[in-house]
Amino acid sequence: MVQQIKKNRTVNSLAAPGWIAVVTPYYPTKNDPVAGIFVQEQVLALRFRNIDARVIHIVRVPGFRRKFGHQDRRTQAYIDQDKTSGVEVPVVRVPYIAPSAPIFDWYWFARLSCAVRKGVNMFGVEKLDAVLAQWILPTGIACLSLAKRCRVVTIARGVDLHVLARRSIFSMAALTKIIQGTDVIACNGRWGMSALRDLGVDPKDKFTVIRNPKDLSIWLNVKKAAHCSSEFRLVCVCRLEPMRKRVDVLIDAIEIASHDTGPIHLTVVGDGPARTALQKRASALPEGATVTFAGTLPHDRIAEVFSNSDLFVLPSQREGCPHVVVEAMAAGLPVVVSDSGETKYLVDEGATGFVIPTIDAYGFGEAIVSCARRRDELPLWGEKGREKVRALFDRDKNVQFLIDALYGKGS
């Protein structure tokens, strides 16, 4: 059992307000506008509440740049402004040289700690109320160097819990330090709490669930488009990665399902390194089973695809709380997903969709056939799912939970 030390530190509400440092290894950039977009949404939610939230983006830089003397902007810390949402967010981009071997793990965290402190100092604002560290590893432990100065809140998002689940000596030692040194550890779903229990941690006192304060309005307003076609329409939205997002399994599944469903069509939204291989595989499907690769689309176009679809499907090898599943459910789509991370807590089996225990084409194919046979019931399933995520991901409620954690209210 990992020892817990409860801290009851609060921020003095009578003092002049300070600022919140949001430390993250992922945040949108011009080259990658979707990386860490949920972190951006969290920062914007805080700023809309008149909280001075500023971002310290820890940018991983391959070691060869330092080795060969590259001194461009990507290896120098600089202050940036994120204006993509119409609201100005101060951002410090702090590169760090990533290690090339596991033996340097502690040295790696020392480098990260230096990067975090550098980011804080570059803003030049004295009163720091709290640090919000995104992900337990690596960011959480890197922020512990600020624990004597302010409150530290760490968010477990999913991938970090998958790393901890390997139970290496290093990761468990890091987890012990984080639990002892941080004020609050927040999980973005019930699965995170379950994962901590599996690691021998008693998730109480400083542990809590804070879901991402996500604006679902665009998805909640999606209306199902009427179409007379007998074609059963599926949609999958994900990055096309060969080992994590198993669109290859989904293509095999629709081939299996097409023997019972009749004409079936899959729209794949997203791009990535596996796209060419997936297109080649899809071109070999039998008549009656077709796939469209739509590439990366803006939210309004994705909402349009959702309105013209009957079912959302996501076979994913590893997830935390997949936002695209939440968005599909908010749009009124029943979902078929793999059992990974928070999905089993989001989906009510046989009422809002199906959760497939393993990444298996036959399992997904059978679920797709089952949904096709209940096509008249699917709109009701979609409405039940919509109401569930509307309640779970209520923006105002989750923003308030986050503010209470940051300022120590209710401790």
Q: Kindly state the tokens that stand for 128.
A: 């720091």
**CA dihedral for 36, 39, 45, 47, sign (positive or negative):** negative
At residue 46, φ and ψ (nearest 5 deg) are: -70, -45
The two domains 19-214+394-407 and 217-392 share their CATH topology (first three levels equal)? yes
DSSP state, residue 286: P
Task: Give the integer Cα–Cα distance in Å for 294 and 297.
Answer: 7
User: Which tens digit of pLDDT belongs to each residue from 117-141?
Assistant: 999 999 887 789 999 999 888 888 8
Q: In the structure, what pLDDT confidence band is assigned to residue 98 with cuts at 50, 70 and 90? A: low
pTM: 0.83
Beta strands in 26-97 (DSSP E): 53-61, 78-82, 89-97
CATH homologous superfamily of 19-214+394-407: Glycogen Phosphorylase B; (3.40.50.2000)
Task: Give the integer Cα–Cα distance in Å for 190 and 156.
Answer: 11
Q: Which residues pair with 94 in a beta bridge?
A: 58
Task: Give the integer Cα–Cα distance in Å for 142 and 206.
Answer: 19
User: Which tens digit of pLDDT belongs to each residue from 33-78?
Assistant: 878 888 998 999 999 999 999 999 998 776 544 443 444 445 678 8
Could you tell me the residue ranges of all domains in the chain? 19-214+394-407, 217-392
Q: Kindly state the tokens that stand for 57.
A: 């983006």
Placement of tokens 């021998």 in the chain: 200
Q: 13 pLDDT exceeds 70?
A: no
Closest CA to 264 of 308, 315, 224, 230: 230
List C-alpha distances in Å: 310 to 80, 160, 316.
42, 33, 20
Q: Kindly state the tokens that stand for 109.
A: 């965290």
User: Which tens digit of pLDDT belongs to each residue from 216-274?
Assistant: 999 999 998 877 678 999 999 998 988 889 999 999 999 999 998 889 999 999 999 99
b/e sequence 340-359, b meaning 16+ C-beta within 10 Å? bbbbbebbeeeebbbbbeeb
Helix, strand, or coil here: 372?
helix
Element (H, E) at 248: helix 247-261
Cis peptide before 263 (omega within 30 of 0): no
- Kindly state the average pLDDT of the residues 325-354: 94
Mean pLDDT estimate for the chain: 85
**pLDDT at position 176:** 82
Task: Give the integer Cα–Cα distance in Å for 123 and 63.
Answer: 26
Maximal CA-CA distance, the chain: 70
Task: Give the integer Cα–Cα distance in Å for 196 and 208.
Answer: 11
List C-alpha distances in Å: 398 to 189, 208, 212, 391.
12, 12, 7, 10
CATH homologous superfamily of 217-392: Glycogen Phosphorylase B; (3.40.50.2000)
Q: In the structure, what pLDDT confidence band is assigned to residue 204 with cuts at 50, 70 and 90? A: low
In DSSP notation, 115-183 reads HHHHHHHHHT-S-EEEEEEESIIIIIHHGGGGTTTSEEEEEE-SHHHHHHTT--HHHHHHHHHHHHH-S
